[in-house]
Structure 1
Amino acid sequence: MKTSVRSRRDEKASSPTVLEVAKVAGVSVSTVSRILNGTARVSEAKRQAVEDAIAALDFEPNALAQSLKRGRSMTVGVLTQDVSSSYFTETLKGVEHALTDTGYAPLIASGHWNAEEEAHRVRLLIARRVDGIIILSGNLTSAQITQYSGQVPVVATGHRIEAPKAWAIELDNERGGVMATRHLLDLGHRRIAHIRGPEEHADAEQRFAGYRRALEEAGVQYDERLVVPGDFYETSGVLGVAELLARGAPFTAIFAANDQMAYGVRLALSRQGIRVPDDISLIGFDDLPGSLYTTPPLTTVRQPLFDMGRIAAGNLLRIIDGDPPEPFAPEVELVVRETTRRLR
């Protein structure tokens, strides 16, 4: 017991206090506190002295006490859909990068593409008194998100929102669908199959609309036999190929609505002895980190996932501080690798 008490005393003695910082810096305790709270108007020399003292003493302010003084929790809620998905992992990296050294910590919740569950998670985050919420895709409506912004600032991806404390990032998924399909058309393909994303997802429907638009502009007749449903996961890529082959309608290329389904397509074709791109050309959408390392590397449509997360978090902090968000219009980009080739 004596050893335990002594250890606690030693630990307490080794932890520098605000008083020690003030002594080393040669300023008052109140000045140190106000600098830590971000409310002090002091000379640059005093501020530098305090920062030098903090570094020399390895002082770490009490985050809870600081947040209470500021009237903030210093937490940001992040509603994602599936933390196991590379799509959301890459976007979360951007969020994390933007929050580095800001004093804010992310509180992550998953909605699993279920509107009721997403709404429940948002209410839980608000109840936890987060200072703002980032909503990454999902099935919540723009009207719902606007309503939540009346309680806490919100930034969302995949929406179009106009509200005082809400801001959204909208990607032109239809343009991306046109780019993917047009790339295959330019290579001479006319029998182009498409594995769709879930019909309830706006981005999936927009990519499908882009597919149809590109065919129409090229004068290629739409064939519903070449379109099969998917759910954005690898398994549906495998099942999609099986369905296409079972239908018997010939095709020379496949546009999968995201990279994860394209991975499943590649596997299913390989199991059937169908070579990519010699026999079938394949293109995805997203440009996930792993797409560069598939065999062969995947041709895809890139969307700036990391930047979308970074800008979303940065603009949320601006709204929290009462500043207007910075404009950001993410653009899709065709990335040609080795899974597409000219039709012989």
Structure 2
Amino acid sequence: MATIYDVARRAKVSASTVSRVLNGKQSVDATLAERVREAARDLDYRPNALARSLRRSQTHLWAVLVSDINNPFFTALVRGVEDVAQRSRYSVVLCNSDENPDKEASYIAAILAEQIAGVIISPTNRSGHLRQLLDADVPIVAIDRKARGARVDTVTVDNTEAAELATNHLLSEGFIRIACITGPRDISTAEERLEGYRQALRAAGREYDPRLVRYADFREQGGYTAMAELLDHTPRPDAVFATNNLLTVGALECMVDRGVRVPDDVGVFGFDDVPSATLIRPPLSTITQPTYDIGRTAAELLLRRIADPSRPPTLSVLPTHLHVRASSLKRPRGTESQR
């Protein structure tokens, strides 16, 4: 028996396009829609009307599509989603895009084919993927990052303000050459945190030096490589602000390998709490996001979207907290850093 994926291959379109055409959506080009219908006829594709009806009316599955399942940031966040979902008799399916737009597209095609009741997503930079969900009337809430080119409910934090506060702290401690390791250029969180860093420098009358900025993926190796490049720069920085937890860990690993003392040689401030941040020596200064509350708020917004699909999109901005610890405290000359 032919499947929706067989039809998609025959018509040379995505499974989500097949789903929209066969469900009567008007958002598909007429020529393309006819090609899909012709492929379905050729393959004698017959969707199970009863099963499809049951999925539409009784589906109790949410998909949570995160950008990196290895990032501890998402652990408490997903727990917040699940707690709200369980109370409302929904189950949660966890998907990992791995920062890969093609992988994200594959999951979205499956979400459309299975008539998932709602989606909570940390999107990549491809707004077209979210547009497919919107065209199919799938309720969506974006988390952590703002969705480009799509007006959807969003839960985030004030990344710019938080980054500005962290950089201000480093400036107030007397650090002079403060570097910033940020994420990919096309990710909203990376851009906003870099802007907060810039704003703090401007407010302090410091010149922004692009040579002290490194762009990397939001992973440990990216932080390690970026820190190595900064340490090889002359003169090298005396402090670094890393814009997520894995970047911070990677930067610290590099400094350990290079014999760089924190904070005597280089002060460190991270974004997102790192597991065991207080056990690292010296303890790590971080900006903490309310990860559980981000997930909980996103789930509550999804419930509201399911109940009222026509309401205007909501932007929820949750507070962050600055945790100043020894890694960012400039020591008087002659003192020893903790080991």
Conserved? CA contact 2:272–2:289, under 8 Å: yes
CA distance in 1 between partners of 2:248 and 2:303 (Å):
36
**Which residue of the partner structure matches residue 271 of structure 2?**
285
**Which residue of the partner structure matches residue 191 of structure 2?**
205
In the alignment, structure 1 residue 341 sits paired with structure 2 residue 326? no
Deviation at 1:338, TM superposition (A): 2.1
Aligned counterpart in structure 2 of residue 154 of structure 1, from 140, 143, 152:
140
- Letter paired with 2:146: H
In the alignment, structure 1 residue 233 sits paired with structure 2 residue 240? no
| 1:171-227 Cα deviation digits (max 9, x unpaired) | 321112211111101111121011121112121111111111111110111222222
Deviation at 1:249, TM superposition (A): 1.8
User: Residues 340 and 74 from structure 1, CA distance in 2 versus in 1: closer, same or farther, beyond 3 angstroms?
Assistant: same
Conserved? CA contact 2:125–2:148, under 8 Å: no
CA distance in 2 between partners of 1:225 and 1:149 (Å):
41
CA distance in 2 between partners of 1:332 and 1:267 (Å):
26
**Which residue of the partner structure matches residue 51 of structure 1?**
none
User: How many residues end up aligned between the 2 structures?
Assistant: 277
User: Residues 205 and 328 from structure 1, CA distance in 2 versus in 1: closer, same or farther, beyond 3 angstroms?
Assistant: closer
User: Residues 110 and 318 from structure 1, CA distance in 2 versus in 1: closer, same or farther, beyond 3 angstroms?
Assistant: same
Aligned counterpart in structure 2 of residue 78 of structure 1, from 38, 46, 64:
64
Output the TM-score relative to the length of structure 2. 0.74
| Higher Rg | 1
**Which residue of the partner structure matches residue 272 of structure 1?**
258
Identity value in percent:
36
- Letter paired with 1:159: K
Conserved? CA contact 1:194–1:227, under 8 Å: yes
Conserved? CA contact 1:160–1:169, under 8 Å: no
Conserved? CA contact 2:154–2:315, under 8 Å: no
Note the 1:122-161 alignment, pairs <5 A: 122-141=108-127, 144-145=129-130, 148-150=133-135, 151-157=137-143, 158-159=145-146
Conserved? CA contact 2:160–2:192, under 8 Å: yes
Deviation at 1:161, TM superposition (A): 8.6
- Letter paired with 1:268: C
**Which residue of the partner structure matches residue 36 of structure 1?**
none
Q: Helix, strand or coil: the match of 2:206?
A: coil
Deviation at 1:145, TM superposition (A): 2.7
- Letter paired with 2:299: A
Deviation at 1:333, TM superposition (A): 2.1
Q: State the Cα RMSD in Å.
A: 2.6
User: Residues 119 and 179 from structure 1, CA distance in 2 versus in 1: closer, same or farther, beyond 3 angstroms?
Assistant: same
Q: Helix, strand or coil: the match of 2:328?
A: coil
- Letter paired with 1:246: D
- Letter paired with 1:239: T
CA distance in 2 between partners of 1:105 and 1:214 (Å):
43
User: Residues 139 and 290 from structure 1, CA distance in 2 versus in 1: closer, same or farther, beyond 3 angstroms?
Assistant: farther
Aligned counterpart in structure 2 of residue 97 of structure 1, from 69, 83, 98:
83
Conserved? CA contact 1:160–1:170, under 8 Å: no
Aligned counterpart in structure 1 of residue 301 of structure 2, from 315, 324, 341:
315
Output the TM-score relative to the length of structure 1. 0.73
User: Residues 215 and 161 from structure 1, CA distance in 2 versus in 1: closer, same or farther, beyond 3 angstroms?
Assistant: closer
| 1:224-254 Cα deviation digits (max 9, x unpaired) | 2222232111122222222112222232111
In the alignment, structure 1 residue 332 sits paired with structure 2 residue 309? no
Deviation at 1:314, TM superposition (A): 1.8
- Letter paired with 1:75: L
| 1:26-59 Cα deviation digits (max 9, x unpaired) | xxxxxxxxxxxxxxxxxxxxxxxxxxxxxxxxxx
- Letter paired with 1:78: V
